[in-house]
Amino acid sequence: MFNTIEELIERANHWGSVTEAMIQVEMTQSETSREEILAHMKKNKDVMFQSIKKGVGGVTSVTGLTGGDAKKMHDYLGGENFLSGKYILTAVQNAIAVNEVNAQMGLICANPTAGSAGVAAGVLAAVTEQKQLNEEQQLQFLFTAGAFGLVIANNASISGAAGGCQAEIGSASAMASAGLVEISGGTPEQCAQAVAITLKNMLGLICDPVAGLVEVPCVKRNALGASQAYVSADMALAGITSVIPPDEVIKAMHKVGMQMPSIFKETAEGGLAVTPTGKKISQKIYG
C-alpha cells in the first residue's frame, strides 16, 4: 500500500508504472484477481463513455435548470471556428455531457464523486479520440487517475461537503492530469507534478451549489476542470515542476478545506447560491 505521492512514485518505479502499482495494491487489498479488477474497471469506463454519448445527444435535468450545453458545444466544435484546441474543447464537451446526465438522474460513474464525474470521463474520451487509444491504454489512464485519487482522498478529501469544490473538481482534475501524463509516456514523477500543478490552481475553490443541487455551477466547473487537466499535463510533460512538492500541496489543500467556512462547503449558504438569482431559483424550485 502507498499513503503518499512519494511512496506511490517508489512503488510505480518498482513495478514499472503507476498503473501496475495500483493494480498490485488492489489485488492485495481486495484479494481479487487481476482479471476481475480489469473487468470492473472496463465496466466503469463503458459507463463513462455511454453517459457522454447520451449527454452530447441532448438531455435536460429534472429541474430544468441545466441541460443542452453539451450539444451546444458539440455543434460549436463542428464549425471549426473555435479559439481553444479541439481536444481540450472535446474534453469540455464530454465533461458537461456527463454532469448533465447526472442532473437528469441518469447512469454515470462517480469518479471520484458524482458532482465531479465529468472531468476524468471527459478527458479520457477526448484523449482516446485524439491519440486513438486502445482499451488497455484507456484502463491505464483510469488506474493511474485512481492511484493519485486514493492518495488525495486519504490525506485530504474528495468531498465538497468536507473540503469545498477544491476537493471535488480539484481532485478530479488532478487525477485526470495524471492519467494524461501516464498514457503520453510520462514518468511517475511527471504524473505527480501534474497533480501538484492542478491542485495548486484549484486551491480554495468553494462549493456553492445553487438550491443545493449538483447543477449550478457544478456542470460548468467540470468543464473547466477538464481543460485544467490538459494544461497541467502538458506543463508536466514539458518538464515544468511544482516548487511545492506534491505531498505538501495535498496537505495544504486539506488545511485550506478545514479552515474554509461551512457556508462554502455544499451548504448552499454562500457564494453563487445566495446571489439574487440563486435565491430566486431556490425559491422557484422549493416554493
Span 261-279, pLDDT tens digits? 999 999 999 999 999 999 9
What does the pLDDT read at residue 99?
98
- pLDDT tens per residue across span 88-129: 999 999 999 999 999 999 999 999 999 999 999 999 999 999
Measured at the alpha carbon of residue 37, what is the angle toward residues 31 and 40, in degrees to the nearest 5? 130
Indicate the burial class of 22 (C-beta count within 10 angstroms; 0-12, 13-18, 19 or more): buried
Q: Which three cell numbers stand for residue 286?
A: 422549493
Q: How far from chain centre, in Å, is Cα 257?
A: 18
What does the pLDDT read at residue 169?
98
For residue 164, pLDDT beyond 90: yes
Distance (Å, whole) CA 89 – CA 73: 8
What confidence tier does 80 reach under pLDDT thresholds 50, 70, 90?
confident
- pLDDT tens per residue across span 178-230: 999 999 999 999 999 999 999 999 999 999 999 999 999 999 999 999 999 99
Helix, strand or coil, per DSSP, at residue 60: strand
The domain that contains 9 carries what CATH number?
A: 1.10.4100
What does the pLDDT read at residue 245?
98
Distance (Å, whole) CA 54 – CA 82: 23
Structural domain of 126:
5-286
Strand-pairing partners, residue 207, are 265
Domain count, the chain: 1
What confidence tier does 66 reach under pLDDT thresholds 50, 70, 90?
very high
For residue 287, pLDDT beyond 90: no
Average pLDDT over residues 17-46: 97
